[in-house]
Amino acid sequence: MLEIKNVTKKFGDKTALEDLSFSIPDGSVFGLIGSNGSGKSTLLRIISGVFKPDGGSVEIDGECTFENPSAKEKIFFISDYPYFYNNSTVESLVNFYKVLYPTWNDEKFRRLCGMFPIGTKDRIVNMSKGMQRQAALMIALSVCPKYILLDEIFDGLDPVVRQLIKKLIMELVSENNTTVIIASHNLRELEDVCDHIGLIHKGGIVMEKDLDEAKLGIHRVQAVFDNELEEDVLNSLNVVNIKRQGRMMLLTIRGDGQAIEDTLRSQKPVYMEMLPLTLEEVFISEMEAVGYDINNILE
Partner 1 sequence: MTLTTSSNNKNFTKLLKWAFLRNKSIMIIFSVIMAVGIIINLYILTRLSVNYDKPGFEKTCGNIGYFSIILAQTLSILFSIASVSQTFSFLHNKRSTDMFGAIPATRSTLYFSHLLGGAASIALPFIAGSLIICLASCRSFEFVLLNFLAILFGLISIAAVYSFSSLIAYCCGTARDMGLITFAANAIYIGVLAISWTVVTLMIPGLDFESILYAPVLTLFCPMGFAYFLDIYYYGGQTAAFVVTIIWSVLFTAAAVLLGNIAAKTRRMETAQNEFNIKWVPVVIKVGMSVLIGGFAGLITATSFASGFSTMYVFTFWYILAGFAAFIILHLIFSKGIKGKFLSSLFAYIGTTAAAIILLFVMSTGAGIDTYIPMQSNISSVTFGEQNYTYSEPENIQTVTEIHKIITDGLKKESGNQYYIGSSTNQGQWTREIDESDYDKYSTILNTPFNFRYNKNFGFTTTRNYNINLYNLSFYDSQRMTELLLKLYNSDEYKKQNKAFLFSETSHSEDSVQLAYYEYNGRLTYDYEYYNGTEDYTASDTVELKKDRAFLDGLYAALREDILADPDFFYENTNRYYYGTYRYFGDYFLNLSVYSSAGNTDTGTYDDYLYDVSPSRNLVLSVNLTKNYPRTIAYLEANGYKINNEKLSKGSLL
Which residues of the shown chain bind partner 1 in the complex (CB under 8 A)? 11, 45, 48-52, 67, 69-70, 72-73, 75-77, 79, 81-83, 85, 96-97, 99-102
In the bound complex, what is the minimum distance in angstroms from residue 236's beta carbon to partner 1? Answer: 47
Please name the residue ranges forming H helices in the chain: 40-48, 69-72, 90-100, 106-115, 129-143, 159-176, 187-193, 211-216, 231-236, 257-265, 279-289, 294-298
- Residue number with CB closer to partner 1 (98 or 209): 98
Closest C-alpha to 10, from 69, 54, 67, 68:
54
DSSP states of 84-151: --TT-BHHHHHHHHHHH-TT--HHHHHHHHHHS---TTSBGGGS-HHHHHHHHHHHHHHH--SEEEEE
- Residue number with CB closer to partner 1 (82 or 198): 82
In the bound complex, what is the minimum distance in angstroms from residue 71's beta carbon to partner 1? Answer: 8
- Residue number with CB closer to partner 1 (151 or 189): 151
CA–CA distance, 132 with 61 (Å, rounded to integer): 31
In the bound complex, what is the minimum distance in angstroms from residue 138's beta carbon to partner 1? Answer: 15
- Residue number with CB closer to partner 1 (80 or 280): 80
- Residue number with CB closer to partner 1 (11 or 271): 11
- Residue number with CB closer to partner 1 (121 or 244): 121
Distances (CA, A) of 98 to 109, 142, 225: 10, 9, 65
In the bound complex, what is the minimum distance in angstroms from residue 177's beta carbon to partner 1? Answer: 20
- Residue number with CB closer to partner 1 (50 or 224): 50
In the bound complex, what is the minimum distance in angstroms from residue 65's beta carbon to partner 1? Answer: 10
- Residue number with CB closer to partner 1 (79 or 285): 79
Q: Which residues of 59-72 are buried (b: 16+ CB within 10 A; e: fewer)?
A: bbeeeebbeeeebb
CA–CA distance, 20 with 204 (Å, rounded to integer): 6
In the bound complex, what is the minimum distance in angstroms from residue 204's beta carbon to partner 1? Answer: 19
Q: Residues 264, 223: contact at Cβ < 8 Å?
A: yes
First to last CA, the chain: 42
In the bound complex, what is the minimum distance in angstroms from residue 50's beta carbon to partner 1? Answer: 3
Closest C-alpha to 78, from 23, 146, 13, 152:
152
In the bound complex, what is the minimum distance in angstroms from residue 78's beta carbon to partner 1? Answer: 9
